[in-house]
């Protein structure tokens, strides 16, 4: 059984949500991401700093998504079939095809993962917010 939850980011939740207080931490985080990209070889060195800033800004927006109350989380975490998850999201966030591609990839190797598999989706609220955010991003 697959359990789907919201992601963890590179920094603690408070660093994203209390930006003014933690701006030196976020600046250092951006710098670290930039240097990792530099070591790996930028695809476009000219725009690398802007892309790193955009990435961290996106993480900030995603970290600020509001969590449902605990009873809503419990009721929304009932097992569902992968086929049914598709009805909850538009083509912007095609979780069904993403999960099938991921699970059946050679690196993961679950050859029989399909629409009939059951998943526990703990953070429906998160993915609904993410789906609303995606169209407002540039890339």
Give the DSSP per-residue string, the chain. -EEE-PPP-SS-HHHHHSHHHHHHHHHHHHHHHHHHHHHH--S-GGGHHHHHHHHHHHHHHHHTPPPPPHHHHHHHTSEEEHHHHGGGS-GGG-HHHHHHHHHTSTTT--TT--TT-EEEETTHHHHHHHHHHGGGS--
- In the chain, where are the structural domains located? 11-64, 68-139
Q: Percent of the chain having pLDDT more than 90? A: 20
pLDDT at 131 over 60: yes
pLDDT digits (tens, 9 = 90+) for 22-58: 888 889 999 999 999 999 988 887 889 999 999 898 8
pLDDT at 74 over 70: no
pLDDT at 4 over 80: yes
- Please calculate the CA angle 48-101-53 and round it to the nearest 5 degrees: 15
pLDDT value for 50 = 92
pLDDT value for 76 = 59
pLDDT value for 94 = 82
């Amino acid at each position: 059984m697959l359990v789907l939850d919201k992601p963890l980011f590179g920094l603690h939740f408070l660093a994203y949500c209390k930006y003014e207080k933690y701006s030196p931490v976020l600046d250092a985080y951006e710098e670290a991401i930039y240097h990792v990209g530099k070591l790996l070889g930028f695809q476009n060195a000219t725009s690398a700093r802007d892309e790193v800033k955009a990435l961290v800004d996106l993480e900030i927006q995603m970290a600020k998504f509001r969590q449902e109350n605990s009873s809503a989380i419990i009721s929304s975490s009932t097992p569902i079939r992968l086929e049914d998850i598709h009805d909850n999201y538009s083509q912007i966030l095609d979780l069904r095809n993403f999960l099938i591609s991921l699970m059946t990839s050679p690196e993961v190797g679950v050859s029989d993962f399909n629409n009939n598999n059951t998943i526990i989706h703990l953070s429906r609220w998160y993915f609904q917010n993410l789906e609303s955010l995606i169209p407002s991003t540039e890339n």
